[in-house]
Amino acid sequence: MEYNSIYSRSYSYPYLMVLGLILLSFALQAQTNPPNDTDPPRDTSKNSNAIKILQSDRLEYEVFEDREEKRLVGEVRLQQKDAFMYCDSAVTYGNIVKAYDEVIMEQGNSKTFSDYLKYNGENRTTVLVGDVILSDPPNKLETQRLDYNLDTKDAVYRSGAVLSNDKTVLKSRVGYYNTDTKIANFKDSVYVVDQNFVLNADTLVYDGNTNISYFHGPTLIKTQENTIYCESGFFDTENNKAEFIGNAWIVKDSSERAEADKIIYDGETNTAQLIGKSIVSRDNQLIYADNSFFDSGENVYVFVDNVQAVDGDRIIYADSLIYSTETNQGTAIGGVVVQDTAQTIYADRMDYNKATRDAVLTGEVFWIDTMRNMNIECEKAFFNDSTSYMKAIGRPLMTMMIEDDTLYLAADTLTSTPDSLDPAIQSFVAEDKVRVYKSDMQAVCELLEYSQRDSVFRFFDDPILWSDSTQFVADTILMYMQNGTMDRLELLEEALILNSPDEIYYNQIKGNDIYANFKNGQLDNMDVRDNGEVVYYIIEDDKSYMGVNAVKCGYMLVLFGNNEVEKIKFYQQPEATIHPMNQVSHEALRLENFKWYEDLRPLNGWTIRKLK
C-alpha cells in the first residue's frame, strides 16, 4: 500500500483540491512503474452525479489498493445535486460518503440529524445511525437507525421510531415515511397519542397532509369518554371524524357498549352511526338493530331495521327505536311487539319511560296475557311495568277465557289494577257504553267492575243482563261465576225480570231486590224481596197459553223448570188473579218500568266494539 499525505491549513475546497492534485502528480512522476489497474480512481468532481466537497478545515488522502479515500475534518460541507450534508468529519471514496458527529443532511424542506451517516451517491440511499431525527415540517421522525432514499423520498426504520407534529405522536417498531407524500406506514406495536385519542394498533398508515390515520388489524382507541376497538378504519384528527370497521365496538363509562359491523364517528357533532347488525348494551339492556345512530351531545340512540331490545325477560321488537340515555325515555315505532313470560303486546308505537316504568301504546294495540288467559284490543293503552296498572281507551275489547267459554267485554275505557293482597290477581273497571257477550250471558251498562279474586261482575248505571230468553234489569246487578257459568245474580233496587219464549207474551217478576240462582246454567229459583209482583203465563202441555196469573206479594220464591215458572212460594199473604187469555189486556198487565231491550242485546263477541 502506498500512502501520501498533505497537511492543510483550512483551505476552502477549490484551492485544496488543486494543491492536492499538483502534489499528487509529482509523487506519481517519481515512481518507476507505469500506472496500472490498482491506481486510485480519477476524481469525478466534474461528473454531474459526483459528490462535491464545499468546505472542510482539513483534507487528508489515503490510497488503498482498491480505492482512494478523502478524509475531511472540521466543518465539513458536501453537496450532491439538491442534497447538502454537514458534519464534523467525513470519509469519501467514489460516490460514497461516511459522515461522523453532528451529521446534518438537507434536501428541500427536509432535514436529517444523526451521529453517523453513510451515503451512496450512485443510488442516493442513506443509512443514518444514532439519535436520528428526520425533520419534515410539520412532522418530525426520531429513531436510532434510518434508511433514506433521496430520490424516492422514502425513509424506513426497523428498530422503533417516533413520528410527531404539533397534534399527534406516533410510535412503532417498524415504519416507512415518505417526505414527498407525507404518508407514513407503521407496523408492530403501533402507539398513537393525539389531542383527541390514544391508539394502539398492529398496523397504521398516517397521512401527514390530512392528519388522517388509517389502521389495519386489531386496533384499540381511547378517547376522553370512550374506548373503541376495530380491525380496520381511519381517524381524521383534523376534522375529528372516524370510521371503525370489523368487529367494531365502543365502550362508554364502562356502562354502555355498542357493537356493529361498521361505526362512523363524528366528534364535532358528538354522533356515531352503527351500520350492520349493531348491538348496544346499557344497564343490563341489550338492543340489536341492522343500523343505529347515537348523538352523544343529546345522549340519544336511534335504532333502525329489525330492532330487538332485551331487558331481563322482556323483549321488544320494532322497525325503529329512539332512546334517550339522559331521560331514560324511549319510543318504539312500527310493528312493535313487547314480549315477556306472562304477556305479549302488539302495537304501532310504544313510548316508554324506564325511570317511572310507564308505557303508552298506540295504533292497533293487541294485548295477550297468557298468565290470566286474557286479551285486550284497543287504539291506545297506558301501562305501568312496576305496578301492572293498565288503562285502555279507544273502544277497547277484552276477551277472557272462562273455563271452556270466552267472555267478550267492550267499553270506551278499560282499566286494570293489581289486587292489593295479591298482585298476580287483577281487577278491571270498564266505563261508558259497556257491552258484554258470553255464549250464555250478555249485558250492557255504563260501569262494570270485575275482580279475579271473587270472580264477581258488578254492573252499575242502567245495567241490563240477558240469559237465554230472560232479561234482568236493576239499578245494580252483581253476577257471581262458578266453573265458568253464572251461579248467582243479585238485582239490587228496582229489580225487574222479563222472560218471553216468543216475544209476544212476557213473564214478569218485580221487586225491590231479587236474588236469582242458577243450576247448570239454567234459572233455578228467584228470591223476591219487598214489593214483589209476578205476572206469568200458564202454559198447557201442548205449549198453548191457558191464562195469565198476576200476583202481588211482599216476599216470594219463584221456582223454575226448563226456563219456565213452575211454582211460586209466598212468604206473605198474596194478592193473585188469574185472567183468561182473551179476557184481559196484556198491555195493561205490564209492570212499572216494563221495557224489552232486545235491540240492545249484544249478538256476538266481535261486533260489540261497534255501538248500535
Query: What integer pLDDT is reported at residue 539 of this predicted model?
Result: 84
Q: Is the pLDDT of residue 10 over 70?
A: no
Number of CB atoms found within 10 A of residue 558's CB: 24
Per-residue pLDDT tens for 533-588? 999 888 888 888 899 999 998 899 988 887 777 888 888 888 889 999 988 999 99
pLDDT at 279 > cutoff 70:
yes
Tell me which residue range forms the domain holding 136.
1-148
CB atoms within 10 A of CB 193: 14
Full DSSP string of 405-451: EEEEEE-SEEEEEE-SS-TTSEEEEEEEEEEEEETTEEEEEEEEEEE
H or E element at residue 179: none
Q: Percentage of the chain surpassing pLDDT 90? A: 46
The SS3 assignment for 304 reads strand
Q: What is the mean pLDDT of residues 451-476?
A: 91
pLDDT of 380 > 60? The answer is yes
- For residue 124, give the CATH number of its domain: 2.60.450.10
Q: How buried is 244 (Cβ within 10 angstroms: 0-12 exposed, 13-18 middle, 19+ buried)?
A: buried
**Could you tell me the pLDDT band of residue 132, with boundaries at 50, 70 and 90?**
very high
Q: How many CA atoms lie within 13 A of 541 on its CB side?
A: 0
| Confidence grade of residue 284 (pLDDT, cut at 50, 70, 90) | confident
Residue 126 lies in a domain: yes
Average pLDDT of span 478-487: 85
Q: What is the arithmetic mean of pLDDT over 444-468? A: 91
> Considering its fold, how many domains does the chain have in total?
1
CB 237: neighbour CB atoms within 10 A? Answer: 21
407-448 tens-digit pLDDT = 999 999 999 988 777 777 788 999 999 999 998 889 999 999
Least confident of 324-333, 417-426, 460-469, 515-524: 417-426
Q: Give the pLDDT confidence score for residue 503 in this predicted structure.
A: 85
Closest CA to 518 of 556, 463, 480: 480
Does 464 score more than 90 pLDDT?
yes
Q: Are 448 and 434 in contact (CB under 8 A)?
A: yes
**Does residue 83 belong to any structural domain of this protein?**
yes
Instruction: Give every CB contact of residue 376 below 8 A, 6+ residues apart in sequence.
Output: 365, 366, 367, 369, 390, 392, 396, 397, 398, 399, 414
pTM flag (> 0.85): no
* Per-residue model confidence as pLDDT tens digits over 141-159: 899 999 999 999 999 999 8
Instruction: At 447, list the grid cell.
Output: 260501569
- The yes-or-no verdict on residue 290 having pLDDT over 50 is yes
pLDDT in tens, 63-80: 888 888 889 999 999 999
Q: 254 pLDDT exceeds 90?
A: no
* Cβ–Cβ < 8 Å for 203, 217: yes
DSSP state letters, 232-276: EEEEETTTTEEEEEEEEEEEETTTEEEEEEEEEEETTTTEEEEEE
Q: Work out whether strand 485-499 and strand 476-482 pair parallel, antiparallel, or are unpaired.
A: antiparallel
Q: Is the pLDDT of residue 595 over 60?
A: yes
User: Could you tell me what percentage of the chain is helix, strand and coil, using 3-state DSSP and rounding each to the nearest 5?
Assistant: 5, 65, 30
Is residue 495 one of the residues assigned to a domain? no
**Looking at 41-108, which runs of residues are DSSP E strands?**
52-55, 58-63, 68-80, 83-93, 96-107
Q: Which residues of 381-404 are buried (b: 16+ CB within 10 A; e: fewer)?
A: bebbbeebbbbbbbbbbbbbeeee
Structural domain includes residue 54: yes
Burial class (CB in 10 A: 0-12, 13-18, 19+), 565: buried
pLDDT bucket at 25, cuts 50 / 70 / 90: very low
What secondary structure does DSSP assign to 122-172, as a single string?
TTTEEEEEEEEEEEETTEEEEEEEEEEETTTTEEEESS-EEEE-SSEEEEE
* CA-based nearest residue to 343, from 456, 453, 426: 426
pLDDT at 458: 95
Q: Is residue 71 part of a domain?
A: yes
The three cell numbers of residue 319 are 322497525
CB 474 within 8 A of CB 514: yes
Give which of 492, 491, 414, 427 is closest to 455, Cα–Cα. Answer: 427
How far, in Å, CA of 535 to CA of 465, rounded?
A: 19
On the question of pLDDT at 16 being above 50, the answer is: no
Q: What is the pLDDT of residues 78-121, one digit of tens each?
A: 999 889 999 999 999 988 999 999 999 999 888 999 999 999 99
Q: What is the pLDDT of residue 41?
A: 41
pLDDT average, residue stretch 183-202 = 87
504 CB burial (10 A radius; 0-12, 13-18, 19+): exposed
pLDDT in tens, 201-236: 989 998 878 888 898 899 998 888 788 899 999 988
pLDDT at 468 over 90: no
The reply to whether 60 falls in a domain is: yes
Work out the angle at residue 471's Cα, subtended by the Cα atoms of residues 468 and 476, and round it to the nearest 5 degrees.
125
Q: Tens digits of per-residue pLDDT, 293-316? A: 888 778 888 999 999 999 888 899
Cis preceding-peptide flag for 423 (omega within 30 of 0)? no
Average pLDDT for the chain: 85
Each residue of 264-293: b (16+ CB within 10 Å) or e? bbbbeeebbbbbebbbbbbeebebbbbbbb
- Is 298 a member of any domain? no
d(CA 60, CA 20): 9
In a domain, 541, yes or no: no
